Amino acid sequence: MPHFNKKMISFFMTTKCNLCCRYCYNADERRAITEQTIPLDLAKAGIDWYFANTPYRHIRFYGPGEPTQAFEEIEEISAYAKNHPDRGVDVTSEIQTNGVFTENVRDWMLDNMNIMWMSFDGMPEIQNYNRPLNPLFKKVFGGKTSAEVLENNVRWLINNKGNRNLMVGARVTITDKTIDKQKEMVDYFYSLGIRHVWTNPEFYEVGRIPVCQDEIKKKGFHFDMDKYVKYYLEAYQYAKKRNLQWGSFLTINFDGESPYHCRCCDPKSAPHLTPDGYISACDMVVLGEEAYHMSPFIVGKWDFEKKELFWYEDKVSALNERKATNIAHCKSCPAKCHCGGYCLGETVNTTGHLDGQDPVKCKAIRQLFEKLGTCEPYPYLHP
């Protein structure tokens, strides 16, 4: 099923976070504002709108910081959706979390989540280097490292899930330092009981200007994509023999056919509600008030006084038009309908345009497509 078919309403819960990841894609953006958590009346109005206007009943919790830092709000939104008179009983739930949460949160997740993607970078020395605990939270976790808390939570959830409909998987950011450790990671995740993993090559943080205009950012970033493809393929084959799904963000559409890359191009079927009261089309655009070059993804707004949602129809239409069959550089690409013009969020952040191109990513996608071709539907789609 192409990623475009992943339909859900996402709640960008809070700007608070308990980690200090080295590559955090929005740390500067979060630091620049006072902490914000999604208003409950917006979340509830979003559910009412989504349930009245679409047949989908999948809800998802995500950043901009760590969603479980707004745990009470997660509980309330979840209860509201599941008790909704319009097919609330059909609701399924997903979260992307850093997995560094307390036992109280963990117990609730066990009984209330169906899909848990742990942002998890692998073996403890890598996890603690890339994703260290914010020192302010040392006491909350009894002096443990982020790896210790996360590992413990993952093992506990997997060992206690019984016959619940719950999948605990890993979403891994691969950096230059870990490209050649992918096989080792397969063994590590396998030993924890994880069977579904999506890897993402490290990407640029979102700032106030596109990366193409930001010489400092370009100079400070390095990722060897050829090396990633080589080691990814090796780990993919190795994982397959162990029945572990080792996915790549570059292959998320290899299991289906679509001119679109992802849900972002049909935001009314997959809205994301931001803590500052906007509707975003994309996981990379987590706040709406000052979206700068990423403003094409802010497709609507919550009117705090009238308590109503408004859609910016011109922006929705512009995203709808963004498909591989319309983009000049994609038209004759052999991977066209299994790529869909690549991730818009990254494309706009890198080039400043909806129809921009990242030739490094294109080369990697084509290489992977040539080697792997199409595949059976993925059991769990990329978050």
Yes or no: say if 205 and 217 are a contact pair by the CB < 8 Å rule. yes
Supply the minimum distance, in Å, between the C-beta of residue 269 and ligand SF4. 12
Phi then psi for 173, rounded to 5 degrees? -90, 120
Give CA separation, 180 vs 8, 226, 229, in Å.
34, 11, 10
**Cβ distance to ligand SF4 smaller for residue 157 or 344:** 344
**Cβ distance to ligand SF4 smaller for residue 88 or 372:** 372
Taking the C-alpha atoms of residue 218 and residue 350, their distance in angstroms, rounded to an integer, is: 10
- CA-nearest of 227, 237, 240 to 201 is 227
| Phi-psi sector, 160: left (phi>0), alpha (psi -120 to 50), beta | alpha
**Cβ distance to ligand SF4 smaller for residue 261 or 301:** 261
Question: Strand, helix or coil at 182?
Answer: helix
**Cβ distance to ligand SF4 smaller for residue 82 or 357:** 357
Taking the C-alpha atoms of residue 364 and residue 357, their distance in angstroms, rounded to an integer, is: 13
Supply the minimum distance, in Å, between the C-beta of residue 62 and ligand SF4. 10
Supply the minimum distance, in Å, between the C-beta of residue 272 and ligand SF4. 8
Supply the minimum distance, in Å, between the C-beta of residue 104 and ligand SF4. 19
Q: How far apart are the first and last CA of the chain?
A: 14
Supply the minimum distance, in Å, between the C-beta of residue 201 and ligand SF4. 13
Structure tokens at 356: 């921009």
Supply the minimum distance, in Å, between the C-beta of residue 242 and ligand SF4. 27
Supply the minimum distance, in Å, between the C-beta of residue 370 and ligand SF4. 11
Yes or no: say if 155 and 106 are a contact pair by the CB < 8 Å rule. no
Residues 6+ apart with CB under 8 A from 217: 204, 205, 207, 211
**Binding positions for ligand SF4, rule: CB under 6 A:** 17, 19-21, 24, 27, 63, 65-66, 98, 119, 131, 262, 264, 282-284, 324, 329-330, 333, 335-336, 339, 341-346, 362, 365-366
Query: What secondary structure letter does DSSP report for 260?
Result: S
Supply the minimum distance, in Å, between the C-beta of residue 175 and ligand SF4. 12
**Cβ distance to ligand SF4 smaller for residue 84 or 95:** 95
**Cβ distance to ligand SF4 smaller for residue 262 or 309:** 262
**Cβ distance to ligand SF4 smaller for residue 94 or 283:** 283
Yes or no: say if 10 and 272 are a contact pair by the CB < 8 Å rule. yes
- Residue length, the chain? 383
Give residue for tokens 């989908």: 56
